[in-house]
Amino acid sequence: MGTTSASPPETDGAVETRGIEPVPDHERHGRVRELFPTWVAANISVLLLTMGASLVVNNGLNFWQVLLVAAIAAAVAFGMVGVLSVSGKWGGAPGAMLSRAAFGVRGNYFPGAILWVARFGWETINAVTGAYAVLTVLHLLLGIESNNVLVVVTLLAFVAVTYLVSGLGRKALNVCNKYSTYLFGLFSIMVLVYLVATMDWDAIFAKKAGTTAMVIAGVGTIAAGGISWVPTGPDFARYLPHSASGRKIVGTTVSGAALVLLPMVLMGGVMAVSNPKLAGQNTDPMSFLGTILPSWLAVPYLITALVGMVLINSLSMYSAGFTAQTMGVKLPRALAVSINAVISLVGGLFMMLVAKDFIGQFIAFLTLLAVSFSAWIGVYGVDMARRRKLAVRYDADSLMNTGRTSRYWYTGGFCWQAMTAWAVALGAGLCFTKVQWFTGPLATTWIGENGLGWAATITIAALVFAVLPAPRESAPAAGDGEAAEARESVTAA
């Protein structure tokens, strides 16, 4: 039988001591504005330049279509991040933990395992990108050519720094995110000014528009990275008080992400007009900056982007520690992160030393990532909507209790309605998916051809869960809040 664990107090030191335990009300001192630099930092990735270039070269889009794709992708993906982040202030717990209320204390292991594995892949991609950035800087500054030993050293250094920052926890991440936002913003403006002054704008604006189908497919590709952050959203909102505005949470999340995502994708598209090979850097996605930008600008820009990529991976590993604990790993959060660090190091070495098509594998991974996360999103979103409508509060004791006395035990520890919706949607989403090494039986349909498998997955999961009989939670645990308090905490969104 599971047990109920009290929430240890959060220390004022540099290292966050709390793991998956819900944050009590008296420690909810966070502010919504703290989310802004978090979601800015979550998008500081030079890979967005390559993806923007791909929209021009592979999808055949023009300047205005690239801008439209980036805007829609940011609004859709990070709109979902913001909406589901609201559950973090309702329950004061990470998304992987609150998910127990939807799937059941045992049922949550199944989507949790897939989210955890997907997180491994995301961190591996980021680690490889960061290592390539270091190698590019060394080449531009010192003329050092890459070799296998240098690859191992740079990747190990990147993962080690990431592990250190993520292990420190929320406070350290907030400080790093804040100053990296200022630094990266400064150099991004310098790059924009340089591009405005040197690009052939007549050629850029003369490019013919691509098809609507390619625009839709482009939205899916760019949005996939943002969708991967949706289960993470509650992790960064759990220190917000119940009185925090849900609308402000959504607005701050979207605006923070869009501030970086839009110009990065657009810059990549602009660069691709003068150098179409930008979208074809299959083995090293960073070296193109040395040919597009002068060294005096490329080097500091890469260094600031490198800091951003460390923070992206740190944010991901921070949440991965919670997922590991939710999956039953009996380690403090800071040590649980080490599992992801080791796996990303091993996976990164494979991609850099063995695999030959980095960008192709990256796009394939993003596609599968979006589908795997989308099935969870559809179920979790409906569960949130029901809690808001009925003013049903997350019960902290039951979230920590994995035994039969938990109100989230349902039937044998499984919420069969949620599990059914999740499994059906995940299977359907894979049927619509086509990547380099996998083609689903429905990949040639309109949904599959337009890259909308992720959207179909969310819709199917939500519809199936909504039409099935509503799950019945067990009786509230002793000491659960009064109805008035519950209504206040849930409907404050």
**Amino acid identity, residue 430?**
L
Report pLDDT for 172: 62
Report pLDDT for 175: 66
- The residues near 247 (Cβ < 8 Å, ≥ 6 apart) are none
H/E stretch holding 424 reads helix 416-431
Does this model's pTM top 0.85? My answer is no
Which has the closest alpha carbon to 61: 251, 272, 202? 272
Q: Do 295 and 140 meet the contact criterion of CB atoms below 8 Å apart?
A: yes
Domain assignments of the chain as residue spans, ordered by start: 25-474
Q: How far is CA 238 from CA 91, 244, 444, in A?
A: 7, 11, 42
How many other C-beta atoms can be found within 10 angstroms of the C-beta atom of residue 297?
16
Report pLDDT for 64: 94
Report pLDDT for 436: 75
- The residues near 426 (Cβ < 8 Å, ≥ 6 apart) are 114, 371, 372, 375, 457, 461
d(CA 268, CA 333): 37
- pLDDT tens for 457-490 read 999 999 999 999 999 887 654 444 433 344 334 4
d(CA 293, CA 287): 11
Three-state DSSP string of 139-193? HHHHCCCCCHHHHHHHHHHHHHHHHHHHHHCHHHHHHHHHHHHHHHHHHHHHHHH
Residue 434 bridge partners (DSSP): 439
Report pLDDT for 285: 61
Q: Do 113 and 264 meet the contact criterion of CB atoms below 8 Å apart?
A: no
Q: How far is CA 214 from CA 190, 230, 282, 365, in A?
A: 31, 25, 21, 19
- Find the largest Cα–Cα distance for the chain: 70
d(CA 50, CA 149): 26
Report pLDDT for 355: 61
Fold classification of 25-474 is: Hydantoin permease (1.10.4160)
Residue 438 bridge partners (DSSP): 435
Which has the closest alpha carbon to 121: 375, 287, 440, 346? 346
Q: How far is CA 377 from CA 136, 230, 414, 477, 493, in A?
A: 37, 7, 18, 27, 18
Q: Per-residue confidence of the chain (493 residues) as pLDDT tens digits?
A: 444 444 444 444 455 556 678 888 888 888 899 899 889 878 877 778 888 888 988 888 999 999 999 999 999 999 999 999 999 999 999 898 999 999 999 999 999 888 887 777 777 877 887 888 888 888 888 888 878 888 888 888 888 887 777 666 566 666 666 666 777 777 778 887 888 888 888 888 888 899 998 999 899 889 988 888 898 899 889 989 989 999 999 999 999 999 989 998 998 888 887 766 655 555 566 666 767 788 888 888 888 777 777 777 777 777 777 777 777 766 666 666 677 677 778 777 777 776 656 666 677 777 787 888 899 999 999 999 999 988 888 998 899 888 899 999 999 999 999 999 999 999 999 999 887 777 899 999 999 888 889 999 999 999 999 999 999 887 654 444 433 344 334 434 4
Q: Do 255 and 36 meet the contact criterion of CB atoms below 8 Å apart?
A: yes
Q: Do 490 and 392 meet the contact criterion of CB atoms below 8 Å apart?
A: yes
The string of DSSP letters for 20-50 reads SSPPPGGG----GGGHHHHHHHTT--THHHH
In the three-class reduction of DSSP (H, G, I as helix; E, B as strand; rest coil), residue 211 is classed as coil
The string of DSSP letters for 261-274 reads HHHHHHHHHHHHHH
Q: Do 419 and 103 meet the contact criterion of CB atoms below 8 Å apart?
A: yes
d(CA 138, CA 144): 6
- pLDDT tens for 290-344 read 677 888 888 888 887 777 777 777 777 777 777 777 777 666 666 666 776 777 7
Report pLDDT for 327: 73
Residue 435 bridge partners (DSSP): 438
Burial class (CB in 10 A: 0-12, 13-18, 19+), 380: buried
Report pLDDT for 487: 37
d(CA 427, CA 424): 5
